[in-house]
Chains A and B, each alone.
Chain A
């Protein structure tokens, strides 16, 4: 609902780094009750759409992993050569990840690999993409909930120990 406002806010208020203590000037925000945790997001007029996948059924907690990030323009065509700046933050804790991921364009047009993602706390995360080189500058945001599903670890039954 406040998505556009969030984006506008983001331009002014986004942190430039993500880490253990980068809290100066930030405002603590609680998790919204109706969080949209879609893995595909788009700009308001659909000029740019982004989606991500991982190798895991759920986003892993405390595990360094890779995102496969796809970018499409409003005609559904892959966006190549985008300059992507990614930050991951926990609005409830005023800090982000303890890694600085590397974004590499893959051989598949529109597919980017984000290596070094690591969510070290459970709960509400925001991953923001600041993308230029796709016609103009775009800001896109994924909302994530990490580590709160009841799914058992992969390859293991929950009652095993």
Chain B
């Protein structure tokens, strides 16, 4: 009884596949250009969904009432660049989150006081994220910024030192923003507020318009100036929203769903549980969204945390989808920095597609040219791409 409908739908599927093959095979004679720019309604909708024009202003940050305070952001920016906030006086946030390198660094793993266990994450567009770090173990941006300060291999200081440094160097701006003297406040409060100022700064790091965005805009306008992308880049875009299924995880104007997936990245024997251990840390921290120092209304806010599926078994070995904006400018790639080029990343996705390494990853049967085209398209997501192609 169960086999029959499955069989018939499979047969219909095969017929459809055969039919689309015929369509594909009959097309080359019509001339590549005409077909290349002939987008379906679904493709057009998906292309627009990726465009910066669809990016709303950053959502509010209920757990940080200073999130959109310019004075808090100015204080946060100063501390972000201040290497006094480290054990050896040489490491600031900007050491690894380099502005000249897409706010990340060029190393497989971050290098602060010591060697970090994962690649430095790019931090542009963090205002749009729900979870922070590769494993999402922080549920708010301000809470995330506190992690590296106390991590022995990153800044290597503790909250008491943070309070002393704030008192010594930022006493006045701190008082201005938080309306109290840091000497009067418990050390944890000063530490949390420092994180809130850092978060206010990081929220101002927003993506720049790229050649892809210009193309998406041109498709919508009367100009239809489709020459903004090369043929290879256009084919790559079609693969991205179609056969290669990249858009499943890299969706929305930030090219990420901010969720956690198995990517089938080789780990060279270094087992990293990723999201699998994050739930414990989410519950343990006193600096969380529902914690003592949060400004959120625990009744009204935080549904993404309240209803989070915490089934560790499902998420072991998953990592957060990173944004692809600017990615071509900032190798290496993946949570462990194992790939030095986008070509290697794309090759690996093809290699693990459909395997048990990455049950979620299914990218269709990609040819070598497909991979080249996808790489070409990813280059259009970099703001430097405006200069490259003129």
Which residues of A approach B to under 8 Å, CB–CB?
Answer: 2, 5-6, 8-9, 12-13, 17-23, 27-30, 32-33, 61-62, 64, 93-95, 97-102, 115-116, 118, 120-123, 147-150, 152-153, 155-156, 158-161
Please name all residues of chain B whose beta carbon is closer than 8 Å to the beta carbon of A123 when the two chains form the complex.
248
- Docked-complex contact B359 and A94, CB < 8 angstroms: yes
State whether the Cβ of B389 lies closer than 8 Å to any Cβ in chain A.
no
State whether the Cβ of B185 lies closer than 8 Å to any Cβ in chain A.
no
Contact A19 to B307, CB < 8 A, known contacts A9-B5, A122-B247: no
CA gap between A33 and B19 in the complex, in Å: 13
CA gap between A115 and B44 in the complex, in Å: 31
- Docked-complex contact A116 and B306, CB < 8 angstroms: yes
Contact A61 to B49, CB < 8 A, known contacts A116-B303, A158-B220: yes
Task: Tell me what chain A mostly uses at the interface: helix, strand, loop, or mixed.
Answer: loop
- Docked-complex contact B360 and A94, CB < 8 angstroms: yes
Nearest A residue to B252 by beta-carbon distance?
A: A62
**Partner-contacting stretch, out of B67-75, B137-145, B258-266:** B258-266
CA gap between A158 and B47 in the complex, in Å: 12
Please name all residues of chain B whose beta carbon is closer than 8 Å to the beta carbon of A5 when the two chains form the complex.
5
Pick 26 A–B contacts, CB within 8 A, sort by A: A19-B314, A20-B259, A20-B360, A21-B262, A21-B313, A21-B360, A22-B314, A32-B9, A33-B16, A61-B252, A97-B309, A98-B259, A100-B308, A102-B307, A115-B303, A115-B306, A116-B306, A118-B307, A121-B249, A122-B248, A147-B46, A149-B45, A153-B54, A155-B56, A158-B48, A161-B53
Please name all residues of chain B whose beta carbon is closer than 8 Å to the beta carbon of A152 when the two chains form the complex.
54
Other 11 A-B pairs with CB < 8 A, given A19-B315, A147-B49, A150-B48: A9-B2, A20-B259, A20-B260, A21-B315, A33-B12, A121-B257, A148-B42, A148-B46, A158-B53, A159-B217, A161-B51
Please name all residues of chain A whose beta carbon is closer than 8 Å to the beta carbon of B261 when the two chains form the complex.
20
CA gap between A27 and B9 in the complex, in Å: 13
CA gap between A101 and B303 in the complex, in Å: 9
State whether the Cβ of B338 lies closer than 8 Å to any Cβ in chain A.
no
Please name all residues of chain B whose beta carbon is closer than 8 Å to the beta carbon of A6 when the two chains form the complex.
5
- Docked-complex contact A19 and B311, CB < 8 angstroms: yes
- Docked-complex contact A118 and B304, CB < 8 angstroms: yes
CA gap between A100 and B258 in the complex, in Å: 17
Q: Give, as a whole number of angstroms, the nearest-CB distance from B20 to chain A.
A: 11
Nearest B residue to A28 by beta-carbon distance?
A: B362
Q: Give, as a whole number of angstroms, the nearest-CB distance from B273 to chain A.
A: 13
- Docked-complex contact B2 and A61, CB < 8 angstroms: no
CA gap between A147 and B166 in the complex, in Å: 45
Contact A8 to B56, CB < 8 A, known contacts A21-B318, A61-B251: no
- Docked-complex contact B360 and A161, CB < 8 angstroms: no
Contact A98 to B309, CB < 8 A, known contacts A20-B260, A148-B45: yes
Q: Give, as a whole number of angstroms, the nearest-CB distance from A18 to chain B.
A: 7
Please name all residues of chain A whose beta carbon is closer than 8 Å to the beta carbon of B308 when the two chains form the complex.
98-100
- Docked-complex contact B314 and A21, CB < 8 angstroms: yes
State whether the Cβ of B374 lies closer than 8 Å to any Cβ in chain A.
no
Nearest A residue to B247 by beta-carbon distance?
A: A122
CA gap between A148 and B50 in the complex, in Å: 11
Nearest B residue to A90 by beta-carbon distance?
A: B248
